[in-house]
């Protein structure tokens, strides 16, 4: 089983349980179908980071109060605002399939999430290579809605990225992103290299890390 399939299986909630052949075949078919319709796009901007204390952060014209985010950004002097999407074609595929096959829809959802995560990792790798030239290193992505980072900040991040124009990503009044298989995040950058897992706290086994989100 390759890494991408393992991620999809994780999203499906199998844990350490064996995965049946039918599910694996559904996943393989789903990845093929998703790749035929997705249109990956991303955008990012870099801002100076002001951190008054452990909970109050300012970048651009946005002020945020978040203990979890403040911990994640400890030691950083720059912040990367990031947005990515798999495109509206994925939503259209999910809508079509959901009308006739819910089991396949569930697997499609998991595979789409895995593909989005993979794309975000690729983008972060490229951003990290650019910033290493300035002797700065990235922290894991941290999205509005994680821990005590207010979901309402999603609106501000999207405006600051001008994502509707740059990658076609918008947000509803209830903070749902359109296209749905999209993500926004902030990524801290500092001169200290901290060996955080780039996929974040959910898959990291270091339980006593000072950067770990309290909600986990």
Evaluate if residue 18 carries a pLDDT over 60. Answer: yes
Angle, vertex CA 42, rays to CA 87 and CA 57, nearest 5: 125
| Predicted structure pTM score | 0.88
User: Mean pLDDT over all residues of the chain?
Assistant: 89
pLDDT at 194: 78
Distance CA 62, CA 136 (A): 22
Asked whether the predicted pLDDT for residue 207 surpasses 70, the reply is: no
Tokens of 155: 């609106």
pLDDT in tens, 82-116: 999 999 999 999 999 999 999 999 999 999 999 99
CA distances 64 to 47, 175, 210, Å, are 14, 17, 20
Integer-rounded Cα Rg, in Å, for the chain is 18
- Range 122-132 burial, b when 16+ CB lie within 10 A, else e: ebbeebbeebe
> Which SS3 state, helix, strand or coil, does residue 82 take?
strand
Is the model's pLDDT at 210 over the cut of 60? no
- pLDDT tens, position by position, 155-204: 999 999 999 999 999 999 999 999 999 999 999 999 988 766 555 555 45
Q: Is the pLDDT confidence value at 211 over 50? A: no
């Amino acid at each position: 089983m390759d890494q991408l399939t393992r991620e999809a299986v994780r999203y499906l909630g199998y844990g350490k349980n064996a995965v049946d052949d039918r599910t694996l075949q559904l996943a393989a078919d789903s990845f093929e179908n998703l790749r035929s319709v997705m249109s990956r796009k991303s955008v990012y901007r870099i801002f100076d980071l002001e951190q008054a204390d452990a909970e109050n952060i300012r970048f651009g014209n946005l002020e945020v109060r978040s203990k979890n985010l403040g911990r994640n950004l400890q030691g950083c002097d720059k912040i990367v605002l990031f947005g990515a999407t798999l495109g509206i074609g994925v939503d259209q595929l999910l809508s079509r399939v959901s009308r006739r096959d819910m089991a396949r829809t569930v697997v499609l959802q998991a595979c789409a999430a895995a593909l989005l995560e993979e794309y975000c990792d690729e983008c972060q790798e490229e951003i990290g290579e650019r910033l290493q030239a300035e002797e700065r290193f990235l922290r894991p992505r941290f999205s509005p809605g994680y821990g005590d980072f207010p979901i309402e900040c999603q609106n501000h991040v999207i405006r600051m990225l001008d994502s509707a124009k740059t990658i076609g990503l918008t947000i509803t009044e209830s903070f749902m992103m359109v296209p749905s298989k999209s993500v926004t995040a902030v990524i801290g950058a500092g001169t200290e290299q901290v060996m955080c897992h780039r996929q974040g706290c959910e898959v990291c086994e270091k339980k006593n890390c000072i950067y770990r989100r309290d909600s986990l």
